[in-house]
Structure 1
Amino acid sequence: MIKLQVIGNLGRDCVTNTVNGKNVMNFTVAHTEKFKDSTGAQREKTIWVDCAYWSDRTGIAPYLKKGTQVYVEGAPEVRTYQTQDGKSGAALSVRVSSIQLLGSRSSEGNGGGGYQQQGGGYSAPSPSMEPPIGGDVADDLPF
């Protein structure tokens, strides 16, 4: 089994489609690494990863906005294609099994929640807030 893990920022908003009766969320994650080349000059390299998240739980889609930082895990796939001028190209993509929101570039950080695929099912988003220390959680319920 080969697993690919990517931490990066979404390059565009998530698009949700239905294919053969199943929901798929498509988005692109950009990961940028900084390094020094052989002359000592600071350089950057950005790798774009196309992601396909097949799930009936599309509740996370509104949070997958351009600029949001995410952690994505899944099986890598390499697509080859022909460009309009006849050249061959390749693109890295991931069939997502797990995604977690890490934050956003705006001041309204979206963090903490995530979805995971486990044997065909999905777990609910992980809680981003802990219960109050020393208090009874039932006392904080609004009903």
Structure 2
Amino acid sequence: MARGINKVILIGNLGQDPEVRFTPSGAAVANLNIATSDSWTDRQSGERQERTEWHRVVLFNKTAEIAQQYLKKGAKVYIEGRLQTRKWQDQNGQDRYSTEIVANDMQMLDSRGGDFQGGQQGGHGGQPPQQNQQRSHQQSAPSSPPPQQGKAPDPNANYGAPDPGNFDDFDDEIPFN
């Protein structure tokens, strides 16, 4: 029997600017709140209905830094990753759970922001991001030397979470807005 698949693909808009923090080892962690909308026609009334769903997304390392530099509230973004549930304790010692999307690929879809794609097919438009944070080796992903100013990033570099698989045979055209 085939193993399970945990894959999430979102295209939506940021509800606020990315919230970025750095771990003690210097790794960037960005939290995004992304809104997606679903619309349909109500069968009884014939009226157009719309529902907005909010998604918590976490980006790591270079992808988080690029999100901090280029993404702003309202920006349209493509996210690919996996669902992950964290267990934590609140101020009263009660166990709480939070399910979020851990992104391993991000593309900026607004024309003014260029695009960035982490994972195995790295590359972005516009100017390369500035290198102003010192890095140590990351636990979650193999590290690679930072790209030099004026050069495109290494296409084999892993900027986000580990890539769960290659889906190059999918159409590039997304059939919805």
Q: TM-score, normalised by structure 1?
A: 0.67
Count of aligned residue pairs for this structure pair: 116
Q: C-alpha distance in 1, partners of 2:30/2:102?
A: 10
Which residues in structure 2 correspond to 1:79-98 (within 5 Å)? Answer: 92-98=99-105
CA shift in 2, pair 1:35/1:79, >3 Å: farther
User: What residue is the counterpart of 1:42 in the other structure?
Assistant: 48
SS of the residue 2:112 aligns to: coil
Q: 2:83 aligns with which of 68, 76, 81?
A: 76
User: What residue is the counterpart of 1:7 in the other structure?
Assistant: 11
Give the number of the structure whose residues are more often helix, by fraction: 2
Give the number of the structure whose residues are more often strand, by fraction: 1
SS of the residue 1:59 aligns to: helix
Give every structure 1 segment of 4 or more consecutive aligned residues whose post-TM-superposition deviation is greater than 4 Å.
78-81, 89-92
Task: Tell me how far 1:32 sits from its aligned partner.
Answer: 0.7
Give the % identical residues.
27
Q: C-alpha distance in 1, partners of 2:102/2:52?
A: 20
1:114 aligns with 2:116: yes
Whether the aligned pair in 2 keeps the contact of 1:16 and 1:61 (CA below 8 Å) is: yes
* Structure 2 unaligned blocks of 5 or more: 89-95, 127-177
Q: Which amino acid aligns with 1:47?
A: E
1:17 aligns with 2:21: yes
Q: How large is the Cα RMSD of the aligned pairs?
A: 3.0
